[in-house]
Amino acid sequence: MPIEISEKTIKRDFIDKVIKLSGQDINLCFQCGTCGGACPMSDKVDTVPRRIMRMAQLGMEEALEEVKSYWMCASCHSCTVNCPRGLDIAKVMEALRLLTLRKNVNMFEPSSLDAETMRDLPQIAMVSCFRKLTS
Amino acid sequence: MKVSYYPGCTLKTKAKNLEDAAVASMAALGVDFEELTRWNCCGAVHSLADDDLIHQVAPVRDLVRAMEQGSDKVVTLCSMCYNTLARANLLMRQDEVKRKTINDFMNEEKDYHGEVEVLHFLNFLRDQVGWDTVRNAVKVPLNGLKVAMYYGCTLMRPRNVAIEPIGDTRIMGEFLEAIGAAPVDFPEATTCCGSYQILANPEAAHDVSGRILESAIRAGAEAMVLSCPLCEFNLSKKQPEVLKKNKISREVPVYYFTQLLAMALGLGQEACRFDLNSECSVELLKNKNFPV
């Protein structure tokens, strides 16, 4: 499906927010795809990190809101340590998550956990999941 | 030199086997190791957003507690706590503006500038205790036990808090050799187990955990050793589901590295706490005639 990219479609304020939240100059990405090769979830996600980076560079705010990949990210930092441009890609994924979570949206519902699951779960699993996926 | 010990939430509840074995081992090695008298949850994950300083307050408070205790080092066992505390410490050392904001916010606390060094227990064993001391204290060498060294993510990434340089990791192997076991390196030693996605995307987490277990089996390991309670949950507690989903026919016994240390030091069950591990983990040690 062709995608129209023009000065009209590029959301400059969105690009600025991603850069400000992540502290990363996303324009450094030159689309080598090393991040996706390093990502343990790359065979399961709908959009590999290389593509997410390009969409962010082009300010494709609405299209990025549909992407599920960064909700499957486990913040393992494999992309970050392998990026030849020195970009902390994990921080860009966090910025994209926060732009949704800060609208008071939960991507995981803590109340969905039943008592039996809670009984066995290590605290760090719950704390980290709620930190990453709830508002 | 005084060393503080930060346990973290999970070690006091779901990972007693990680903690009990470490505390008893330290006593057996004659190391002075003082638990922080007051501590709070570190937050489990480091905040990655540049404007999010409020989540740095929890780990920094723990570092202030260690400083108040008069320590220049704080040791952690849990990999996630290590990562969170070490990254908060780096922030306080390196970012003057954020340091001032955080110190101003916590105006009831003493100002903190990164005075305390955050160490993982493996580094502490190597650099402060020494492999020779460990080797000499071993009473039950784990001869013939082929153990896959699983580091996971948070001990190794990002680079500025990695317990050893990425690509040149020897510490777990040196540890296993010191207690007489045979370390088995394998390709997925630093691959993520799925972490907290076990809650939101359990199928995906089971897949990556399966890849790790299969890789360890192929490399010839009989068992796996690790230091993170969340990795232990995904790779051991959830192992029946992982094996079934990935059609893996063999179980993999999983231990915390501190449990193998305690067993090698000749400490009893109240220290090793193998009662909290899976059945196959106990079976393997019995078959090898180790004292369990």
Domain regions of chain B by residue span: 3-122, 131-287
Q: Tell whether A97 and A112 lie within a shared domain.
A: no
- Domain that includes residue A119, residue range: 106-135
One pLDDT digit (tens) per residue for chain A, 135 residues: 788 999 999 999 999 999 999 999 999 999 999 999 999 999 999 999 999 999 999 999 999 999 999 999 999 999 999 999 999 999 999 999 999 999 999 999 999 999 998 999 999 999 999 999 999
Distances (CA, A) of A68 to A49, A76, A105, B199: 11, 17, 14, 16
Give the Cα separation of B280 and B227 in Å (integer): 19
Least CA distance to A70: which residue of chain B? B197
Q: Which residues contact B141 (CB under 8 A, 6 or more apart)?
A: B179, B180, B264
Assigned domain for A2 exists:
no
Q: Please state whether the predicted TM-score (pTM) of the whole model is above 0.90.
A: yes
- pLDDT (tens digit, 9 = 90+) per residue, B92-120? 999 999 999 999 999 999 999 999 999 99
Q: Tell whether A58 and A117 lie within a shared domain.
A: no
Architecture of domain B131-287: 3-Layer(aba) Sandwich (3.40)
Contact assignment for A80 to B197 by CB distance below 8 Å: no
A69 touches chain B (CB under 8 A): no
B230 touches chain A (CB under 8 A): yes
Exposed / middle / buried, residue B241 (Cβ in 10 Å: 0-12, 13-18, 19+)? middle
Residue B231 belongs to what H/E stretch? helix B229-232
Q: In this predicted complex, what is the ipTM?
A: 0.96
Contact assignment for B9 to A127 by CB distance below 8 Å: yes
- pLDDT (tens digit, 9 = 90+) per residue, B12-67? 999 999 999 999 999 999 998 899 999 999 999 999 999 999 999 999 999 999 99
B196 touches chain A (CB under 8 A): yes
The domain total for chain A is 2
Assigned domain for A89 exists:
yes
Q: How far is A101 from chain B (nearest CA, A)?
A: 12
Give the Cα separation of A16 and B174 in Å (integer): 47
Which residue among B48, B50, B195 sits closest to A90, beta carbon to beta carbon?
A: B48
